[in-house]
Amino acid sequence: MECPHLEDNACITTPNIKSENLPSRFVCGVCKTEQSPWICVKCGRIHCGRYVNGHAKLHHEEATNHAVCMDCDNLAVFCYKCDEFVINDTAPGHLEKLRQQLKSISSAQARMRQKSRRRCSTDSQENEKATKKIKKDDRLSKPRSSGLRNLGNTCFMNAVLQSLSNIQQFCGYIKQLPSLEEKVTKVKKIQTRKSKTPEEDVLLVEELRKTLCALWQGSKGAISPESLFAVIWKVVPRFRGYQQQDAHEFMRYLLDRLHTELLTLLPYPNSDSPFIGPKGKSTIVTAIFGGLLQNEVTCLVCGVESKKHDPFLDLSLDIPQQFCTRGVKAKDGEQLRCTLSDCLQSFTELEELEESELYMCSTCKKKQRSTKKFWIRRLPNVLCLHIKRFRWQSFFRVKLETFVEFPLEGLNMHKYILDNLHETRGSGSGSNEYDLAAVVVHHGSGAGSGHYTSYARHEGQWFHFNDSTVTPCEPETVAKCKAYILFYIRRQFKVPDYLSIRNGK
């Protein structure tokens, strides 16, 4: 957004750091953490971002006209008064000059760290053994995945991409695809006689493949997904600009577009996947995320039951109403704790439709009062659960801050499957049990603002992905987050044979 506070806040064009005292990394002046360093463009002091210990925000609250900061890692500019990322600059170009200085300092810091590593490698035999142990421990504590730079409120995209990149079967398949640019050229030649839209000139799956490959090279601390974001702007006009977007909406658009493109570009045989595309075919998207719901509507007058099967890539779960009121206490005086089971039970329980939703009964030949119930007819390999935290209140969208307790392991979906399919679909623990793979979290109170981060498990270790920063964390930290999107992987993961050759195993 265009920030009106720059002229009063932006003063410095270079950090107050002497070359002879150049630190190896930027650190917060209060807590000394290296995570998410932000520099105040008024005075040049460096503090940590609001999603670490929040000392940059505290500095703004204590000092007048110290509202604008620049992220030392990804060089994005944020204004605390506007509560948004900033895209404009002052007339003299203070921000651009500061960016160039930070780039130069970051390069010098990288050279310093490289020289330090070289000196360590020439130490004594004892030190070499210690260094090898440190490096081994470092490999165990850090994923091969890089961070993703924030391009200006693109945290919604980064959080979803990092979550999907840690689902091995999906990421491995996309990474091992051959370059599809040649196929795009052939498709364009065929379409020369037809009118084309800008969406037909770009290929999202190709840019996603390049981004995932770059992420798992592990050669950089963070990569910039500019090409992928540019394609998203073209194929989904609603995501153009730098305003905050909804991570769940982005995930759905991304998966739907990938499914459509893969059906067009690659040869897929007919499949009995629950999510059927054109000509009865499915892709890696539907093979992994695709499930099937059974929607049962019963007329309360004649008792006739209507059944409909609906494919899904994710389930959107309401937080039950009794857990949405702030300050509600249990009998023992403690705060009520909503669980994921409460949300799933609410999703599948019998519900009487409102007067405004009368059902057209085929027997009565008119609209009648009725009940509705959902069953899960077929479970997906990756169960994606979206917690509906945003609701319309009057003319505004508000966020529900209710904590939803969720299991990290052993989510059993047996009781939510259609009763008469329990035996035929199997009641074994592996077929209906899921383990958590990733979580997307929305921080902040506003529906159109705030920040997205994600947690994901890699080789048994949990990591927190906050744009450019990737840090290991404990399972207890993950369990305490207020989840927005949950990705659960089925213990008995099965994909069609024609997809297994590209599943990354």
Active site residues: 155, 451
According to DSSP, the β-strands at 404-405 and 338-339 are parallel
Structure tokens at 127: 């030190």
Residue type (1 letter), 456: A
* Strand (E) or helix (H) holding 372: strand 370-378
**CB-side exposure of 35: number of CA atoms within 13 Å?**
17
Q: Where are the alpha helices (DSSP H) in 216-339?
A: 226-235, 247-265, 284-289
227 Cβ contact partners less than 8 Å away, ≥ 6 residues apart: 207, 210, 211
Exposed e or buried b per residue across 326-358, where buried means at least 16 C-beta atoms within 10 angstroms of its C-beta: eeeeeeeeeeeebebbbbbebbbeeeeeeeeee
Nearest-angstrom CA–CA distance, 95 and 45: 15
User: Closest Cα to residue 266, out of 346, 357, 174, 358?
Assistant: 174
At residue 377, φ and ψ (nearest 5 deg) are: -85, -35
- Beta-carbon count within 10 A of 312 CB: 18
